[in-house]
Amino acid sequence: MKTNKLFFALLFAVLLISVAASIVAAAEPVEITYSYWGTPDEAASVQAVADRFNAEHPEIVVKVMAIPNEEYVTKLNTMATANELPDCGIMNEAGVLDFAEKGLLADVSDMYAGADSMPLDSITFKKDGKPVAYSAANEILILYYNTDMFDAAGLPYPSATEPMTWDEFVATAKKLTLDKNGKNADDPEFDAENIVQYGAVVDNWTWQLEVWALSNGGSWFNADGTEVTINSPEAIESIQKVADLYLVDKVMPYNAGLEDNGIQRSIVSGTVAMATGGTWNVGTSLPGSVKYSVAPLPVMKKEVTICTGGPQVVFSQSKHQAEAMEFIKWYTKEENSWDNLIATGIWMPILEKYYTDEALTKKWIDNPNFPKYEDYKAAVVDYAMNYAVSTSWYYTPHTNEFIEYLRSILGPVWDGTQTAEEAINGGYDYLCSILAGE
């Protein structure tokens, strides 16, 4: 009898424990990881967004994983080999089509099904003409300038509605390049060895150079991304002109084009009067203690700028694709990343309506985080709508390798050892073989 009672008591205990465990398991939220890159400010913003989602959706817990930009594709490649990719994340633009080719991206084509506004076409990643990812944010390249330096030199600010020509840009930069005796670059007694303030920095971080080829009437690839056209005279001339800012015009400090710190080492450090850079700098690096405003890029022959933006993707290795898709859909709704990313200037919205509807535009940029409303509206909002074209990684594969090789052959161009023509013609065949995937 006693053993019987003991037996049933044990059975009952086991039953109780397993019921309790299954209740806990059912109530346990699904955990998904989301990877991204960014400065510490961006990190705080992304964490705030994730916290809001977690609060609104108790059955899913999002854990954010920060990876530095320089190592982003490297880390993802390694995780892909180990089958440990995060569930979702923002994807580095240069690696999107290669990941799609390897089947690592889940299908997101129904993300905007039935929505009232589609993302801009220029920020849609396409493989063989079909969309494979949509940028989570829009970013374009613009010109930043230090208003105090212009005031001190008595020069008018660059116009936000009428971009300068390249020659006007160089002339203005010369007036703003000062040596330690206060003489500017036009002065015959200018001391080029002792410059204390530079007139301009055109960021020569390799992928950004494409905009100058387009501005000069050329391009790096043909329209459907099947041919390399960087050896056209217009494209070559555009790169030489950027290099000549340091070599000939003496208005730019020397830089080997290695990293994205164009705005930090120029406008933010207060040593350069004008600098080109991406619109994300409004939120990530500026204003600091510098008074600045924005204008469109100088024009060589055509008014143009390039747009980019990492897409939000779900990785096909994820074991919780449905939950990850839900987070991504929620995240890409402008309202949800508004306070932390859009209102701070780090991201620009992707839906067309924010660029065409003035009321929505005001809602976006009429706040103290942005420079003067009229400047930003003309130089960024309207310019993006009218003149922005996709950076080539939206439709060409193997961009990582292409850019890496291009960077290595352009090295001698920046310090004058080779001309742009020699460098590009020398490397042209290998660039073509990279595009072909050999």
Partner 1 sequence: MEIDVRKKKADHRLLDGERKTSYLCLIPSCIGLIFLTYVPLITVLILSFFNWKGVGTLQWVGLTNYVRLFTKDPYFIDAIKVTVYFSVLAVFGSILYSFAIALLLNQKIPARGFFRAIFYLPYVLPAMAVYLGWSWLYESNWGLFNYILSFLGIGKVKFIGSPTWVVPSLALIAVWLSGNLIVIFLAGLQNVPRVYHEAAEMDGASGWQRFRYITIPCMTPIIFYNLLMSLITNMQVVTPALALTQGGPGNSSRFISYVMYTYAFKDAKLSYACAISFIFFLIIAVFTIILFVTSGRWVFYQGGND
Contact residue for partner 1 among 217, 270, 287, 412 (CB under 8 A): 412
**Interface with partner 1 by CB under 8 A: which range of 116-124, 247-255, 273-281, 331-339?**
247-255
Nearest to 163 by CA among 18, 276, 13, 283: 276
Q: Is 270 in the site for partner 1 (CB under 8 A)?
A: no
Contact residue for partner 1 among 17, 258, 322, 436 (CB under 8 A): 258
Q: Is 161 in the site for partner 1 (CB under 8 A)?
A: no
Question: What's the closest the beta carbon of residue 412 comes to partner 1, in angstroms?
Answer: 5
Instruction: Answer whether 318's CB lies under 8 Å from 106's CB.
Output: yes
d(CA 296, CA 28): 51
d(CA 258, CA 262): 10
Sequence-ordered strand ranges (E) for 222-311: 272-278, 292-295, 305-308
Q: Is 411 in the site for partner 1 (CB under 8 A)?
A: yes
Question: What's the closest the beta carbon of residue 235 comes to partner 1, in angstroms?
Answer: 19
Q: Is 401 in the site for partner 1 (CB under 8 A)?
A: yes
Q: Is 415 in the site for partner 1 (CB under 8 A)?
A: yes
Separation of first and last alpha carbons in the chain: 80
Question: What's the closest the beta carbon of residue 418 comes to partner 1, in angstroms?
Answer: 9
What DSSP letter does each residue of 348-374 carry, written as one string? B--BTHHHH-HHHHHHHH-STTSS-HH
Instruction: Answer whether 381's CB lies under 8 Å from 358's CB.
Output: no
Locus of tokens 């530079």: 198
The DSSP secondary-structure symbol of 341 reads I
3-state secondary structure of 31: strand
Q: How many residues of this chain interact with partner 1, rule: CB under 8 A?
A: 35
What DSSP letter does each residue of 121-179 carry, written as one string? GGGEEEETTEEEEEBSSBEEEEEEEEHHHHHHHT-PPPPSSSPPBHHHHHHHHHHH-EE
Question: What's the closest the beta carbon of residue 393 comes to partner 1, in angstroms?
Answer: 14
Q: Which 42-81 positions form the footprint of partner 1 (CB under 8 A)? A: 73-74, 77-78, 80-81
d(CA 158, CA 405): 35
3-state secondary structure of 306: strand
Q: Is 425 in the site for partner 1 (CB under 8 A)?
A: no
Residue 300 Cα to chain centre, angstroms:
23
Contact residue for partner 1 among 63, 102, 130, 302 (CB under 8 A): 102
Contact residue for partner 1 among 387, 400, 406, 435 (CB under 8 A): 400
Contact residue for partner 1 among 51, 56, 84, 404 (CB under 8 A): 404
Q: Given the complex with partner 1, which of 90 and 104 has the nearer CB atom?
A: 104
Q: Is 305 in the site for partner 1 (CB under 8 A)?
A: no
The DSSP secondary-structure symbol of 391 reads -
Question: What's the closest the beta carbon of residue 284 comes to partner 1, in angstroms?
Answer: 20
Instruction: Answer whether 249's CB lies under 8 Å from 173's CB.
Output: yes
Q: Given the complex with partner 1, which of 29 and 426 has the nearer CB atom?
A: 426
Contact residue for partner 1 among 44, 256, 322, 436 (CB under 8 A): 256
d(CA 348, CA 351): 9
Question: What's the closest the beta carbon of residue 408 comes to partner 1, in angstroms?
Answer: 5
Question: What's the closest the beta carbon of residue 419 comes to partner 1, in angstroms?
Answer: 14
Contact residue for partner 1 among 88, 267, 268, 409 (CB under 8 A): 409
Q: Which 173-212 positions form the footprint of partner 1 (CB under 8 A)? A: 193-194
Question: What's the closest the beta carbon of residue 404 comes to partner 1, in angstroms?
Answer: 7
Helix axes 40-56, 321-332, angle to 10 degrees: 110
The binding site for partner 1 (CB under 8 A) comprises 73-74, 77-78, 80-81, 98, 102-104, 193-194, 253-256, 258-259, 271, 400-401, 404-405, 407-412, 414-415, 417, 427, 430, 433
